[in-house]
Structure 1
Amino acid sequence: MFLKICAAASLGLGLVVACGSGSEGSGPGAEDGGGGAPGSAGAPSPGGASAGSESNAGSPGVEGDLEDSSDSVTISQQAGRADPEGVAATSPRTMELSWRDSQHALRTMSLYGYLYQYDFSFLGGVAGDPEEVTERSVGDDAWGHAGFGYVVSHNTQTGNSPLGKANEPTRVETTAFVGGHHAIHRVELVYDRDQEGGGEGIAIPVVIEWLVATGRDHPVWSVTWKVSDAENPNGVDFDAYRMDVRGPYGSLNFDGAGDKGEGDAVGGVSWGDFELAFATTGAELSLASPWTYDTPNTVNYSHAWTKTVNAEMGIVQTVPGDKSLGYGDYVVGRLRGQQSAAAYPSKGDCNAFGDARVYSMPCVNGWPYQLMNYDWDAGAAKPIAEGTGTKLMAWGSPYGWLGASSYDLFDYSGVADGRGDRSYATFVVLGPKCRYEGAQCSAEGDVALVKQAVDALGSAKLEQVTRGKVTASIAAGPGAAQLKKLVSGYNDTYAAYYVEASDGGASFTFAPAAGKPVDKPIFVLQNVDIGNRPEILVGGEPRAVNTGDASSGAFVSYSPERRELWITLNETFSQAKVVSILP
């Protein structure tokens, strides 16, 4: 299958164009669905042909013999969705994107301009039976700002910070690669700051992508803000009008509640910078919550969990050690590296933010990553010790990260340039806060596991390349014109390793760092012109390709547009092994 479904919308006209496969002589695409009220239309049958897709052998118009298997990604067009908050226009349709995760269980996201609903399952969520399956359906009727995965940017001069979902996408495209084990949902829009007052006419093109892959639990959300292409009719100085970024942004009932009125209270929050992690330690989140901010950490993330239901949601950056993200202005030099019971500089003093209250938690306006902290804004009437049911999750950056000629790194150890294409990527993680081992919920939840996985991904090496060449640079992010350098071929946009093929193949040693095993790594071979089923050897032993079930040694797809062969090896690497991918 090479299925590509796209909608190009002209601003103000709502023109929608369906397109079929991206090969020459394109096949049929999906027709647009009508508008509809919130609700799931149901996932497609596993392995069945999706509405609007081509169920084919070898994909007509694409040279090669790769075929779909019974566990390939499926894409199903469904009716449009309305925004419970009334900010976004009702989408003309939604795309239900379904894939098989690490347990070979089905996961389904309902998307258009952003994520409306996410259905998945997991093991270990029930006391006494670690093999019992918990099914969870996560919807957008949640306190905060409904839906998830759109962008938001604040600035230092006017308080302008419109929700990105208020901007109708200029293009939405969902593509499953030939072979069907990797798929990308792409959204293009123009972030119009004039959706609120104080926008100064500034409009910045944005490209967002969601990547799903067979064998991988959590989707990757990546973004590029194309600052060089921004409209700035008033000639605003971005060194004075300093902008940040807070996407992926929004609210989902990650506890599985049917609507906001049924949702559980938030039990706590956590976040991490390149070096240390913060976490509340009480049973329920409030401004009176005790906390620690001295746990070693390597991967930037934001995280929240519920009080009673065993549920969590997190945003985890796909590369470790990044000092450029997170808003450090309040915490660095004050409470970072401390615990709530200790004496530390400026403890309890939030007057700089216009907040004269004294409370345990970091100042409401000073959290490095936005979460549900603004529920307790100084201008609101919410008591300090009162909990919240708001499920808002978001990201954070220094002011100036977007557009300024210079901004401070998180720990003030240096400065960086915020101009040009501005890109980063994160895993969007939903699952249990902990997993039961017998009667005790003592095993780690998904956010902790993904942080470990990212640390391992960023530490592994591609060595001893005997065929092909490790990719040295690549587009900075989705839709970016500028390039970034890669270390050992690792491209954080997709959390995958890139190699330039030689005569359609490559051979190299994949070497995880000591004590940091890498599970189900994705390798992308560039400059591949034919979508054939490859021969794959790991440590000299052959791996079965696209068998249609969990026993497959590799899940392989081909993108004719990108000229790339994508390979997920269905195993865990704990030591160095030679990987050969042969045409």
Structure 2
Amino acid sequence: MRQAAGGAEDAGVVEDAGVVEDAGVVEDAGVVADAGVVADAGVVEDAGVTAEDAGVVEDAGSEEELVFPDAGPIEDAGTGVDAGSPPPPPVITRFLATPSQIERGQSAVLEWEVAVATEVRIEPDLGVVTGSSLSVRPFATTTYRLTALGEGGSATATVTVGVIEPAWASMSWGNELPGGYNSDVYRWLDSKGEQRTAVLTRNDARDPGGTNGGMLRQFRYGSGAKARVATGTGASSGAVKYNGWGYVVSHYGSGNSLVARSADVTGQYRQALMGRHHALHEFSWNLLFNDGTAQVPKWVPIKATVQWFFATGRDHPVYAITFDSSAALPQGLSTQPDSRTPYGDIAWDGDGTLATVDGVKWGDKYQFYTRDEPFTSASRWDYKTPNVVPYASTYSRTADAEMGIVQTLSWLQHNTGGTWLNNNWGKDSENQIDGDTADKWVMPPNWNWPYQLCQYEMKLNQPTTSKRVAWGLMSGAVGRATYWGYGYEKQWSSLPYHSYSVFTVLGRPSEGTVQAQISEVERALKAQPSASRGQVVAYGPGGVARSDSEKYAVPGYNGVYGVHEFKADTDGSFSVGLNAAGGALHNPIFLIRDMYAPLSRLTLDGVALRADVDYFASYDDVTKRVWITLNREWSGGHTLSNLPIGP
């Protein structure tokens, strides 16, 4: 049945039809009484339809359909959602990092815009975030993933913040007066990029503590809660005080009753090298040895020269010494001096700590260590395990502090240790021979330790806070044509020269600092050098302040400074290999001879390296040498090259 549309009375009843003013949304269209049947009209949202004059229904058509005239086609209808459809998923319209590349230690800002989300997460490490931005400081290049979660599902986006290594600061030097000690102060960045400081007191005048300087007055390392300052203790030995560490000490004569020491005399100092990242600081003295008698003295001057070697990227300085006994030629000294150099007292547990010593360790042909803590004369010990690289150390577990001396060569390459305790190699305290029956020590008697540590400051069965640390070499180690090395297996010569070098190690037993340096030397001695351009150096001075040439114990390894040594071609180019056959090397140092200009372009396996980031170099124009510290873990075999830049 058709009805006229002109009157509302004749149009049937249209309930709640209202007036459609904005055709974009037609609501309640599902109920049209007596207008026919509108089936499943649902809700049309954002239909984009403009219906003018919708208040009057004209020509309603049949009962089966309802017609809105002039509505036209429905274009861009948007989203038509049935009553049972799921909600839309979240939308990420923006996720970026500003800046996208930073230097390590700097920060970047992550910014994002997300719609229709109930939760936003950013990984790694950040978790649930709110707002629209966040500052981050990644240690290494990091890709951040943003995940938006909502009722309609999830969406993800990623952004990467590139982290580049900043240029490392160069080594610095200054003449300063800490505590009134006239000193040369060196500061450098260690393997962690943290500053270390060495205060070397000058040896040309009396210092405030009553000695003549020429020692490490203070050493600083670590940062934050792990920062530590170690200053000379001023502990006495007889009438002499030791205001730092690194003194030259040599006992000689009957019963070692006489002593020559640098603390008693003035000397000279100089900078042998002050490079961008490497430094050599030198002390020297003329020590007088009485090779006669008390009634008829015969004074013989023995020149002792010490160099301290510091390097960016390295933790532990090298202490290198040469005894020049040329004045004792041709027969040598009859009084058979030993060496306990380097010698001294420094608060390796940190100034003011006064920690009890918990144990001592040393290595010669075998490893010695104490088994009871805290350490006393009654501590049990073990001397059974074979050893390679000599060392002497003492530690406090309660203070988490240790100090050690580690040689740059093996025990077979340079004999160390003194006295006669070798008859206990392979034994322990339970089956020792020639023990201390007089003083009832379980430990060896104090006069029979191969190295001098805290033994002379100990009391029977009582702990000690002594911070004495010194090296040890046999009687005859200075100024003798021949002398027996420790163990009495081989004779050595100390005439006219005797040179050796050790690493000075301060650190923490919880981090295994001393053992790590021992292992580093062992691996360095097993490294296999090669050269396709330039040469592997196999001969050189046997020590500091020497012009002679000796065959190196290991070709390509300079034991004076603990570095790998090569020679460049005449044009300054080199291409040298090193296979870390004994294990990874941490920040190895290369010394290149015959360099008449600084490095031009350094590469590793053909890849260009960045100065002050990937490597730290110092050019010595006087000696025509380049020192290079590689800032990396060197595993396996690699090739380091410096080739001329092409046209």
TM-score normalized by the length of structure 2: 0.67
The corresponding residue for 1:254 is 348
Partner of 1:541: 607
Aligned residues of 1:324 and 1:416 also touching (Cα < 8 A):
no
**Alignment partner, residue 30 of structure 1:** none
Partner of residue 379, structure 1:
none
Residue of structure 1 in register with 2:227 after alignment: 135
Give the 5 Å matches for 1:342-353: 343-349=431-437
Residue 291 of structure 1 deviates from its aligned partner by 0.9
Give secondary structure in 2 for the equivalent of 1:161.
strand
Deviation at 1:321, TM superposition (A): 3.2
Match of 1:155 among 241, 246, 252: 252
CA contact (8 A) 2:420 2:486 kept: no
Deviation at 1:388, TM superposition (A): 1.4
**Contact 1:257–1:264 under 8 Å retained in 2:** no
- CA distance in 2 between partners of 1:363 and 1:236 (Å): 34
Counterpart selection for 1:369 from 435, 440, 451? 451
1:279-305 alpha-carbon deviations (Å, 9 max, x no partner)? 111112221111111133211011011
Work out whether 1:494 is the aligned partner of 2:561.
yes
1:509 counterpart (577, 591, 605): 577
Structure 1 match to 2:131? none
Please, which of 420, 424, 429 is the counterpart of residue 340 of structure 1?
Answer: 429
Output the TM-score relative to the length of structure 1. 0.74
Cα distance in 1 for residues equivalent to 2:289 and 2:516: 37
Say whether residues 1:466 and 2:532 are aligned partners: yes
- TM-superposed CA distance for 1:556, in Å, is 0.8
Please tell me the root mean square deviation across aligned C-alpha atoms, in Å. Answer: 2.3
Does the 8 Å contact 2:609/2:615 carry over to 1?
A: yes
Instruction: Give the deviation of 1:391 after TM superposition.
Output: 0.6
Please name the residue that 1:146 is paired with: 243
| Structure 2 segments unaligned to the other structure (5+ residues) | 1-166, 203-213, 237-241
Aligned: 1:523 with 2:614: no
Percent of aligned pairs sharing the same letter: 29
Residues 418, 174 of structure 1: alpha-carbon distance in 2 compared, 3 angstrom cutoff = closer
Aligned to 1:114: 215
Aligned partners of 1:100 and 1:569: how far apart in 2? Answer: 13
Superposed CA deviations along residues 287-327 of structure 1, whole A, max 9, x for unmatched, are 11111111332110110112520100001001123364333
The CA distance in 2 between the partners of 1:270 and 1:288, in whole Å, is 15
Q: 1:316 aligns with which of 400, 406, 428?
A: 406
Distance 1:97 1:505 in 2: 31
1:184 alignment partner in structure 2? 280
Amino acid at match of 1:311: A
Give the alignment of 1:295-310 within 5 angstroms: 295-310=385-400
> CA contact under 8 A between 2:273 and 2:620: conserved in structure 1?
no
1:77 to 175, 193, 217: 175
Equivalent residue for 1:243? 337
SS of equivalent residue, structure 1 residue 454: helix
Q: Aligned equivalents of 2:298 and 2:192: distance in 1? A: 49
1:47-62 correspondence to structure 2 within 5 Å: none
Query: SS at the partner of 1:411?
Result: coil
The amino acid that maps onto 1:191 is L
Aligned residues: 456
Letter in 1 for 2:216: L
Higher relative contact order (CA 8 A, sep 6+): 1
CA contact (8 A) 1:327 1:366 kept: no
Cα distance in structure 2, aligned partners of 1:171 and 1:103: 30
**Aligned pairs for 1:179-218 within 5 A:** 180-193=276-289, 200-218=298-316
- 1:267: which partner in 2? 358
Pick from 387, 408, 424: which aligns with 2:500? 424
Aligned partners of 2:478, 2:326: CA distance in 1, in Å?
11
- Partner residue of 1:290 out of 380, 384, 404: 380
Q: What residue number does 1:558 align with? A: 619
SS in 1 for 2:618: strand
Q: Give 1:192 deviation, angstroms.
A: 2.8
Separation in 1, partners of 2:272, 2:593: 21
**Does the C-alpha gap of structure 1 residues 143 and 284 become closer, same or farther in structure 2, counting only changes over 3 Å?**
farther
Cα distance between partner residues in 2 of 1:366 and 1:581: 51
Distance 1:402 1:81, change over 3 A: farther
Quick check: which one's strand share is greater?
2
